[in-house]
Amino acid sequence: MQNFDYQTPTRLIFGKGVVEELPQVMSGFGKKILLTYGGGSIKKIGLYDKVKELLSGYEIYELSDIKPNPKYDPSVLDGVRMCKENEVDVILSVGGGSVLDCSKAIAAGAKYDGDPWDLISYKVKAKDALPIVDIITLAATGSEYDMGGVISRTETNDKIGYMDPLLYPVVSFLDPTYTFSVSKKQTAAGCADAMNHIMEQYFCEDSTILNDGFMEAGLKSLMINARKCLENPDDYTARAEMMLTCTYGCNGIYSLGNSYTGWPCHGMEHALSAYYDITHGEGLAIITPRWMKHILSEKTVERFVKYGVNVFGIDASLDKFEIAERAIEATYKFFESINIPMHLKDVGIDESRIDEMAKHVADNEGLENAWAPLMQKDIAEIFRASL
């Protein structure tokens, strides 16, 4: 077991109707709020009106139209400018992971005098950030319980996971009823994203019985509940469990004490969504089984055996490589069964930029240090196998 230093300062307020507590929570931060949201889903589900009604005594500035794979320009830059011009006290993010990630970058940028990209690109370490409160409306990223925000910069094809303990939300509201309206496509993509967050922690050199059990339960919970949510979008119990399982996903709690993995599928997927603006969870679902096949070896096979037996119930008496291959096939089949497009060409990606993307990943993501190291050649092979 490895040493670790762990603290999550985020207060989670979970359940039906908890948003009623918003006025009391917001009262601790000051009167000026930057309300951030996306393309309108929060208006359709009545959450926008609810928030405005609950916070009627506040001075609210609005940054809307934050896109999936949130963009540095204009969203982060506009948000930073608004915070500075209006001396905003606190950011209230209402929406999915993209809105919250964008809000995190704004929170740090608002307290920095230079170009916010200095912070996102790790050229400068932030000294301070505005507090962030969020109402998360999509079960997927776990951004509501972690210190990361993923920001895209279109002109350089960069998609960077910007992490800093200053970016933990102070309070996250999780009301599963607000996820009833999430489309089948986004529900499935959210499930794939959260499953991959767990796999990125599971496939490593050094784990524990405790962490393996926690992660195997997380994977099973996601598969069972995603199916229920797809069949019946208003199933509160399924939406609720899926939400909490996703919330744990990126915060590190699933794998405290485990060895470094390098998060290779995320490193590769960042290039796909940076170059082609695809849905993150779909990109991950496509890459994951191909990555598994690529790294299966004498060194890695035992992890696949444990995964195959404990998550998919594959017969433990079979040959270890047979179990591993069945486990990879079961992973692929599950994603396919929830209607995720399973080829890059299905999401508009062809051969033309594969070498360029592979080089970008190799140059920027440090995957040569992953548990199963990936060089540019390996990354290109995984992309080609995913076509």
Which chain residues interact with ligand NZQ by CB under 6 A?
38-42, 45, 68-69, 95-99, 101, 137-138, 140-143, 146, 148-150, 178-179, 181-182, 186, 190, 193, 250, 266, 280
* Interface residue with Zn ion, options 193, 216, 325, 378 (CB under 5 A): 193
Residue 68 interface partner, choices ligand NZQ, Zn ion, none, CB cut-off 5-8 Å depending on type: ligand NZQ
Return the residue matching tokens 């359940």: 15
Nearer to ligand NZQ among residue 254 and residue 312 (C-beta) = 254
CB of 61 to Zn ion, least distance (A): 29
Beta bridge partners of 150: 161
Q: Give SS3 for 345.
A: helix
Question: Per DSSP, which regions of 107-213 are E strands?
Answer: 132-136, 148-153, 158-163, 171-174
Binders of Zn ion in range 337-376 (CB under 5 A): none
CA–CA distance, 52 with 54 (Å, rounded to integer): 6
Provide the pairing of β-strand 158-163 with 148-153: antiparallel
Residues 139-178, one symbol each (x = binds Zn ion by CB under 5 A, - = not), give ----------------------------------------
Nearer to ligand NZQ among residue 40 and residue 313 (C-beta) = 40
Nearer to ligand NZQ among residue 141 and residue 310 (C-beta) = 141
DSSP 8-class letter at 361: H
Nearer to ligand NZQ among residue 270 and residue 303 (C-beta) = 270
Residue 267 interface partner, choices ligand NZQ, Zn ion, none, CB cut-off 5-8 Å depending on type: none
CB of 305 to ligand NZQ, least distance (A): 26
- The angle at the Cα of 225, spanning 336 to 100, to the nearest 5 degrees, equals 90
Binding status of residue 101 toward Zn ion by CB under 5 A: no
Residue 41 interface partner, choices Zn ion, ligand NZQ, none, CB cut-off 5-8 Å depending on type: ligand NZQ
CB of 74 to ligand NZQ, least distance (A): 15
Nearer to ligand NZQ among residue 253 and residue 301 (C-beta) = 253
Nearer to ligand NZQ among residue 28 and residue 74 (C-beta) = 74
CB of 41 to ligand NZQ, least distance (A): 3
CA–CA distance, 175 with 17 (Å, rounded to integer): 7
Determine contact, residues 263/372, Cβ cutoff 8 Å: no
The runs of H, that is alpha helices, within the chain are 22-26, 41-44, 47-54, 77-86, 97-109, 117-120, 184-202, 209-231, 236-248, 264-276, 280-295, 301-312, 320-337, 354-364, 376-386
Residue 39 interface partner, choices ligand NZQ, Zn ion, none, CB cut-off 5-8 Å depending on type: ligand NZQ
CB of 82 to Zn ion, least distance (A): 28
Nearer to ligand NZQ among residue 195 and residue 311 (C-beta) = 195
For 5, the enclosing helix (H) or strand (E) is none
What is the 3-state secondary structure of 47-109? HHHHHHHHCCCCEEEEECCCCCCCEHHHHHHHHHHHHHHHCCCEEEEEECHHHHHHHHHHHHH
Nearer to Zn ion among residue 193 and residue 325 (C-beta) = 193
Residue 238 interface partner, choices ligand NZQ, Zn ion, none, CB cut-off 5-8 Å depending on type: none
CA–CA distance, 175 with 82 (Å, rounded to integer): 28
Nearer to ligand NZQ among residue 30 and residue 39 (C-beta) = 39
Tell me the Ramachandran region of residue 223: left when phi exceeds 0, alpha when psi lies from -120 to 50, beta otherwise. alpha
Amino acid at 53: E
Q: Give SS3 for 150.
A: strand
Stretch that binds Zn ion, among 159-167, 192-200, 299-307, 368-376 (CB under 5 A): 192-200
CB of 27 to ligand NZQ, least distance (A): 26
CA–CA distance, 350 with 159 (Å, rounded to integer): 20
CB of 193 to ligand NZQ, least distance (A): 6
Binding residues for Zn ion (CB under 5 A): 193
